[in-house]
A and B are shown apart, each in its own frame.
Chain A
């Protein structure tokens, strides 16, 4: 069975550029989470969706960040414009309705220079 799929796996971009991260959750899972992980702050929840609807986006750092989930099998996290402090590993995770375990994708390692 395919797990959570994220792309790209690595992204290097210059400050000011737009960055789009993509996630395909596990089929049948109805909750999707976007996290950011840094050494200093650990794993931070940015936003989560339930049945494609954003439920809690209080973790989104600022207006430069936006997330969408147009259907049950696809979500994007966009940063525009990107800044060096956005450098981190961004994880997407999904969870089935019937359980608490979150299944994480392999992450996107973002470097903004």
Chain B
């Protein structure tokens, strides 16, 4: 079983739409959770950390559900510039220092 699993998509949504991505992780001892964004042919960059209480950054909201071992990312009022691949990242845990990346969810926002 993979450490982190994401629906690869692609998600094609119109401008202004709300879209949500989910990600599941296998190690219940994981302590840190993040969403990274990767533009085409570019490197991944941190979008936001995910906290247990949930957190919001403008149009972006991240949630963590430890009981079900999943994290989510909600994007409201989608912009064309939101088109990218969104990577879920989990780790480390008390059994290791490693961070695990999901394979990414592709989002295209259509005019």
Contact = CB atoms under 8 A, between A and B. Distances in A.
B98 A41 contact: no
Given A100-B32, A100-B49, A45 B99 contact: yes
Interface in A17-70: 35, 41-45, 48, 50, 55-56
A42 B98 contact: no
Contact of B101 (A43, A50, A55): A43
Contacts of A55: 97
Chain B interface size band reads 10 to 19
Contacts, number: 41
A105 B43 CA distance: 7
Interface string A83-113: 0000000010000000011101111000000
Given A43-B87, A104-B44, A107-B43, A48 B98 contact: yes
Contacts of A44: 101
A106 B45 CA distance: 11
A106 B43 CA distance: 5
B4 to A, nearest CB: 9
A90 B34 CA distance: 21
A107 B44 CA distance: 10
Given A56-B97, A105-B43, 15 more contacts: A35-B101, A42-B87, A42-B101, A43-B44, A43-B103, A45-B100, A48-B97, A48-B98, A50-B97, A56-B96, A100-B49, A100-B99, A101-B46, A102-B46, A106-B42
Interface of A: 35, 41-45, 48, 50, 55-56, 91, 100-102, 104-107
Interface of B: 32, 34, 42-46, 49, 87, 96-104
